[in-house]
Structure 1
Amino acid sequence: MKSIFNPADNQEIINRINNLTIESKAKWGKMTVDQMLSHCIAPIDVAFGTLPLKANFVMRLLGKMLKSKILNSPEFKKNSPTAPAFIRKESYDFEASKKELIEKVKRFALEGHTAIKNQIHPFFGKMTYEEWDKLHYMHLNHHLKQFDC
């Protein structure tokens, strides 16, 4: 499995983000490319501890039960459900969002595990660095494939 912390794998993700254009169209789902970029920033902010989220008891319980199934799958399924805080319906500045996402992705390779400030995921509960790594790589890969990158 590729790693968001590995400099070569991290650069591959950045190169794929750089291949996106304002004209990029989704192969599935409803998001536009600018919404997808903004959407991908939010879970990174959760890991970095700059976006505090809380899930209700039922969602935390469900998340703990589904964590290993999701993290042990080869990829996210198309049109998978997402947290309400991550849903994007507005328009976003494409270039600014792209730049911000790239800067945040770079932090994983530059800072390594110390980039992760939040050990508790709002849905999955306690997470190891390896679990955060897999989750972020899978999430970014999923959405870049969605936009054919």
Structure 2
Amino acid sequence: MKSLFDADAHEEIQNRIENLTTESKASWGKMSVGQMCTHCQKPLELAMGNMNLSGKRPGFMKRLVFKIYKPLMYNDKAWSQNLPTARDFIIRDEKDVITEKAKLAELVTSFHGLKDTTEWPAHPMFGKFTHEQWGKMQYKHLHHHLSQFGV
């Protein structure tokens, strides 16, 4: 899996974001392109410590399930369509595509700029990720949704 910390992957993702238009339509799911751009900002904000998830910490059984699924977040296998998402990452109201594209592109660059960071906040559901895992997971999430919109 590519990593958003790699220069080539960063450039690729930025080009794909730039190719989104107000006319871009999803191949699956319910989000509009503006909602998707806003949705994709959330995991980046979470990784950089600029966002917390609402709700209580998962109990023992949920933590065990998340531990089992954790490698799927950053491995080379593509994510399935229509996976469940954290409540805080669901975007219900319509968003301006141009504004949200710009915010997403800025966050992608900010995250890429942390390529030398060694200490990361723990994910509230999955726990600790290594630097390599964070980079791969962020790339994989963006790739998943940009593919959803055909870019």
Which TM-score applies when normalising by structure 2?
Answer: 0.90
Name the residue aligned to 2:139: 137
* Identical pairs, percent: 44
Find the aligned partners of 2:85 and 2:116 in 1 and give their Cα distance: 25
Say whether 1:83 aligns with 2:90: no
For structure 2, the residue ranges without an aligned partner over 5 or more in a row are none
Find the aligned partners of 1:47 and 1:122 in 2 and give their Cα distance: 10
Find the aligned partners of 1:100 and 1:117 in 2 and give their Cα distance: 24
Structure showing the higher helix proportion among its residues:
1
Bigger CA drift: 91-100 or 69-78? Answer: 69-78
Q: CA 1:69–1:6 in 2, change beyond 3 Å: closer, same or farther? A: closer
Which TM-score applies when normalising by structure 1?
Answer: 0.91
Say whether 1:4 aligns with 2:4: yes
Say whether 1:34 aligns with 2:37: no
Find the aligned partners of 2:6 and 2:29 in 1 and give their Cα distance: 29
Q: Among residues 55, 59, 64, which one is paired with 1:61 in the alignment?
A: 64
Alignment-mate amino acid for residue 135 of structure 1: M
RMSD value, Cα: 1.7
CA deviation after TM superposition for structure 1 residue 128, in Å: 0.5
Find the aligned partners of 1:55 and 1:143 in 2 and give their Cα distance: 27
CA deviation after TM superposition for structure 1 residue 113, in Å: 3.7
Find the aligned partners of 1:87 and 1:142 in 2 and give their Cα distance: 16
